[in-house]
Amino acid sequence: MLTLLLLLIPDYYSVHINCGGKEVIVDNKTYEDDTYSSGASTFHKSETNWAFSSTGYFMDDSITTDSYIANNKSILLMNNSALYMNAHLSALSLTYYAFCLGNGNYTVKLQFAEIMFTDDKTYSSLGRRIFDVYIQGNQVLKDFNIEDEAGGAGQEIIKNFTIAVTSSTLEIRFYWAGKGTTAIPSRGVYGPLISAIAVTPVNFIPPAENGSSISAGAVVGIVAAVALLLLLVLGVLWWKGCLRRKNTMERVTVFHSGHLFHLPKLSGQLYRGQKTLITVNIFLAIFSEDFFNDFFSGDISRHRPHHQERKEEICNFSQITEAKNRSTRLPRAVFLRWPESHAPAREGTWPTFWC
């Protein structure tokens, strides 16, 4: 059942993010919006299958609220310049996560452009940004300098890596190790910078494209059928009594005055409360029906000669229960003798029972 439910979670086979910028379409691929305003410690999940976390506070910049999105300050002449107009920054560590990926090999394309420095002879051209890049915990770029790798500020540089995804999750981390300038062109300009990320499968066609995957409707139908079958099996077991509590109490039959009385019999060692219950039940079974019938008919006096005999019957039954304490073998209900007079009972008078 759990396996079928997990099938309802779709697998993704690509990720496209316009880091720090709004949604844009490039080469028929939609790069998703990444303009969420992060802070010194932030985790943000997108509406699809990726998220990012950012850690770090820009020091000595005399700004109360730091900005973690860089805006272009140079002239961009490269193709697809829409991906480089903005970039995502971090003062210490910036990590992107892609989850629910189908397992397999992927090409991770990291797109950079230095847009906070200039490529001229001004003070802004003296800045140097240096950071490291890790993918799946492995360092793939060390002391990476965007401007040096691209051949100048405002130039794009793309780094491609082939990565194996085996647990449906991809992690890309950009980390500042304390190298490079920190106050050019102004205080607080340092740390990792990324313009765009693209993750695409290598040498395999996603199931959603080659038509071999199970549709969501088929999975829902399978889950519903299994649930219905399970309910049917439980219903049959309940109907046959397999799921009900079994009654293990035996019953004993007492014959008296032409009547059969079916009373519960408790097996094993009897406790005092159980003995009392049995004795009272026997007493009521023996006396209740014929006694009260005769009481209302006015023929109550004929029962008096049999009081002692019936009390002995009750005591004998108590002895059968193998009680160890003789006091508990005595009846717990006592029938009080009526006066010797054979006068009919007065109206409104009832026999008395002490229990």
Q: How confident is the model at residue 10 (pLDDT cuts 50, 70, 90)?
A: low
What is the average pLDDT score of the chain? 76
Q: What digits encode the pLDDT tens for the residues 300-353?
A: 444 445 556 666 666 666 666 544 444 444 444 444 444 444 445 444 444 443
Compute φ and ψ for 354, nearest 5 degrees.
-110, 125
Peptide bond into 185 cis (omega under 30): yes
Please give the model's pTM, rounded to 2 decimal places: 0.60
Work out whether strand 69-71 and strand 29-31 pair parallel, antiparallel, or are unpaired.
Answer: unpaired
Q: What pLDDT shows up at residue 234?
A: 86
Tens digits of residue pLDDT in 210-231: 444 555 667 778 888 888 998 8
pLDDT at res. 66? 85
Give the pLDDT of residue 5: 43
Of 69-83, 84-98, 163-177, least confident by mean pLDDT is 69-83
Number of Cβ within a 10 Å radius of residue 290: 14
